[in-house]
A and B are shown apart, each in its own frame.
Chain A
Amino acid sequence: MADHGYVHKLKAGKPGNPILFVLHGTGGDENQFFGFGAELIPEATIVSPRGDVSEHGAARFFRRTGEGVYDMADLTRATEKMASFVKTRAAEHGASEIIGLGYSNGANILANVLIDEGIFDKTVLMHPLIPFRPKENPGLAGRRILITAGERDPICPAPLTQSLADYFTAQSAAVEVEWHSGGHDIRQNEIAAIERFLMA
């Protein structure tokens, strides 16, 4: 039997409301965005899983062999596990809408689940890095995606952020990109963009 569970934090909303999955970056944990998620959509069910891979003690959602070099087999494993986790929790809570928000490593696993399975109605990818050209997926047509990024982000270079946005646009997803002038840090204008995006 495949492993579909994560250690996670949960705040149950009423059935018929959205479910929001918040995913931390490398070295974060289930507390990193849990409160933020609950502030963003107070009526939603909030689920915050902890990455099940440890890199010298730092939690991640899938393995890498170096900075920006992914272990593709482990990414496949992690993508299937996360997709199954998301579907199960969404069905359990009778969710009206499935929303994902992830930062850095959390954004990367979220992006890959979206690319493979298209299951999120709305997705917020904060500083994602997808260093490969994803496969075509017409199922992404009309999905709403917000990408936030830093122009000088050394971990997620701007051209790769742009090519991920271009990929989603080519699949006819509704993509918005919010840049700030800094690096891998989270800034006020990106928070404001997330609030606007989730409100619309």
Chain B
Amino acid sequence: MLDQIKGLHHVTSMADDAHTNNHFFTNMLGLRRVKKTVNFDSPDVYHLYYGDEIGTPGTVMTYFPFPQMPRGRAGTGEVGTTVFSVPEGSLGFWQNRLVRLAVGGLKETEVFGEKRLNFAGPDGDGLALVEVKDDPRKPWTEGGVSEDHAIRGFHSVAMRLRDEGGTAELLKFMGFEELDRKDGVTRLIMPGGNGASLVDLETLPNISRAAQGAGSVHHVAFAVDNREKQLEVRKALMDTGYHVTPVIDRDYFWAIYFRTPGGVLFEIATNEPGFDRDEDVAHLGEALKVPQQHRHLRPILESNLQKLET
């Protein structure tokens, strides 16, 4: 069993319109846009990152907004719900706020005894807020949501699977432990994790596979401290029979990817070097950052990419 992984690192999803996506996560949910860059493989498309003040691993939701992208179709083999942590007693505030902002899919639920507010992102994204007592993580409060209510970071992700077996086994190998099991959902926890330490596995044997599109999660990334730990994880996964990509430089972290038995794409990402490697913390996410290999495209990208509010 591995001990290098510390919880979630980031969740990457797809969207249709960049402006709508940016507005939703910054102005409506009050997260900070910590980086405005472009997709490495399609530099004509933004890669937007939203999180706490510095984009601490375990707080960062990222999006590829592909203009005119058709909606995804929910199903198995994907992350169905991405859940953020908010302070105890704040769900009433969020209920009012999201109603006033005409956010869809609002529904109060209780999962493993925790009060939760489910809602839909701009492309039907499966999102939720859950009240967590004494989450020690410091929130970003300059996005229009006060400290009493502001999002602390990820609480968990819930994966929809036809059969949880292989994925549960993999997560246990990665260092997660089974915490609870109820109503067809298995909850796993990363002991000593970074606060974004829970994964729920929902077994849905009769639901068809997801079709990815706008509003779908593309992959979920787990955090390791540094490249050395990442190489240890890579070797252990490969020794176990997983096909893992070589280490890829993503400018703000290093990444490896592999496909899980349940079909979800996993990434292991390093906490180094972080989002302040090429910008002052005071101005994170303001300027358009272009990866080295696409620098020559900057004038074209600047004139073609949709303008975003800062």
Contact = CB atoms under 8 A, between A and B. Distances in A.
Interface of A: 15-16, 84, 87-88, 90-91, 93-98, 117, 119, 121, 135-139, 141-143, 170-174
A172 B255 CA distance: 13
B258 A94 contact: no
B70 to A, nearest CB: 7
B140 to A, nearest CB: 29
24 contacts: A16-B206, A90-B208, A90-B209, A90-B211, A91-B208, A91-B211, A93-B208, A94-B206, A95-B208, A96-B162, A119-B211, A121-B263, A135-B42, A136-B40, A138-B255, A139-B218, A139-B219, A139-B265, A141-B245, A141-B257, A142-B260, A170-B246, A173-B243, A174-B243
Interface string B212-236: 1100001100000000000000000
Contacts of B144: none
B70 A84 contact: yes
Interface of B: 40-42, 70, 73, 75, 162, 205-209, 211-213, 218-219, 242-246, 248, 255, 257-260, 263, 265, 267
Contacts, number: 73
A172 B260 CA distance: 13
A171 B207 CA distance: 29
Given A16-B206, A142-B242, A87 B41 contact: no
A91 B40 CA distance: 29
B73 A91 contact: yes
Chain B CB count within 10 A is highest, among A95, A142, A170, A172, for: A142
A132 to B, nearest CB: 15
Contact of A94 (B208, B246, B248): B208
Contacts of A174: 243
Nearest to A96: B162
Nearest to B68: A2
A141 B265 contact: yes
A143 B206 contact: no
A135 B45 CA distance: 15
B65 to A, nearest CB: 17
A179 B255 CA distance: 34
Nearest to B73: A91
A90 B207 CA distance: 12
A199 to B, nearest CB: 18
B230 to A, nearest CB: 14
A141 B212 contact: no
A90 B121 CA distance: 25
Nearest to B213: A87
Contacts of B245: 138, 141, 171-172
Chain A CB count within 10 A is highest, among B209, B213, B257, for: B209
A136 B41 contact: yes
A142 B208 contact: no
A142 B246 contact: no
A141 B244 CA distance: 6
Given A136-B41, A138-B265, A141-B265, A91 B209 contact: yes
A172 B73 contact: no
Contact of A119 (B208, B212, B259): B212
A90 B218 CA distance: 18
B243 A172 contact: yes
